[in-house]
Structure 1
Amino acid sequence: MAHGRDESGAERADRNWSELLQELRVMQTGVQVLTGFLLTLPFQQRFAELDRYQLTLYLALVCLSVATTGVLIAPVAVHRSVFRRGLKAPLVTASDRLTRLGLVMLGLVVTGTAMLAFDVVLSRTAGIVVGACAATLLAVLWVLVPQRLGAAARDAARDRARTVAHVSP
């Protein structure tokens, strides 16, 4: 029994894989829409007005967005190559790492896209400020909040263990 669940290692790997797939579906959709949006920008009339900085940022974002799409779809490719080989636990571990990397990359793409939009519409300063705010917000939501929840869960588990230890004869 692990983490309060009565499940075998194989059952845990199956559950973890299923949960990871649900998370990937959300991220894959988001990055694919964002990539599609970025790829349509050169076909807009104002695109020709971008300065060197904006054009460089745009091209970097396209490359990063395409790479993020690849990283977030990679767990599916890994699954296809290890399907029915009894490698579910290593699949989950590798896919978890890819997903974490993809989350960081997605945060960079979202931040950079906000920077570019505000830079083009308002000013370079506005773009930098919005980029910093977006990066901070995503770091809080995607890093700090989960870390706090994890710490609270560890503290609660430690408190339960102490209580059990004191109650035991």
Structure 2
Amino acid sequence: MSVKDTSSEPAKDEETPHQRLARNVNELLSELRVAQAGVQILFGFLLSVVFTAQFRQASGFEKGMHLVAVLLAAASTALLTSPAAWHRILFRTGRRWQILRAGNRAVLAGLACLAAAVTDTVALIAKVVYGPVAMITVGSLTGLLFIVLWFIVPIGMSRGD
């Protein structure tokens, strides 16, 4: 009885490198849908605040914090939507690897901007409602929560901790 060498052929339950790359790109684009929803809600909230009477009475510092949050949300939007645009423009050029590599970096930067925008917004709300001590405390705790859950936990998981 002879055994056929199939080491160069993928088993039926394995992926070829091309299939894996296509799946990874599709997974990246699917993950973006979750993050984009959060950015859209935050961005809409931040844009609508400007048109309230209370905003006109805000201090320069508070308006500055708001502008920073808007800019971070805009950057997050641009970074989190760019891989979809790249895929749409380049999908027939065989550049999935480049889309995936650059897209991964853009998503991580976009998530960092989103975390910073949410943190800034929460800190601003705490400042307006309770004052500067609450702003520092609540803002620090919010930022720490994002850092731990979005970045430290996955690093620990990748190390097997």
Tell me if TM exceeds 0.5: yes
Is 1:66 equivalent to 2:74 in the alignment?
yes
Is 1:115 equivalent to 2:123 in the alignment?
yes
Q: How does 1:27-106 map to 2 (within 5 A)?
A: 27-106=35-114
Is 1:134 equivalent to 2:114 in the alignment?
no
Q: Which residue does the alignment assign to 1:144?
A: 152
2-structure distance, mates of 1:63, 1:147: 28
Q: Is the 8 A contact 1:10 1:88 kept in 2?
A: no
2-structure distance, mates of 1:52, 1:108: 20
Q: Which residue does the alignment assign to 1:161?
A: none
1-structure distance, mates of 2:50, 2:97: 43
Q: Which residue does the alignment assign to 2:10?
A: none
Q: Is the 8 A contact 1:14 1:88 kept in 2?
A: yes
2-structure distance, mates of 1:51, 1:44: 14
Give 1:128 shift: 1.1
> AA paired with 1:61?
A
Moved over 2 A (4+): none
Q: What CA RMSD, in Å, does the superposition of the two structures yield over aligned residues? A: 1.5
2:50 alignment partner, SS class: helix
Structure 2: gaps spanning 5 or more residues: 1-6, 8-12
1:7 alignment partner, SS class: coil
TM-score, reference length from structure 1: 0.84
> AA paired with 2:18?
A
Deviation sequence 1:93-123 (CA, Å, 0-9, x none): 1111110110111110010010111111110
Structure 1: gaps spanning 5 or more residues: 156-169
Q: Which residue does the alignment assign to 1:14?
A: 22
2-structure distance, mates of 1:72, 1:151: 26
2:93 alignment partner, SS class: coil
TM-score, reference length from structure 2: 0.88
> AA paired with 2:21?
A
2-structure distance, mates of 1:91, 1:72: 13
1:50 alignment partner, SS class: coil
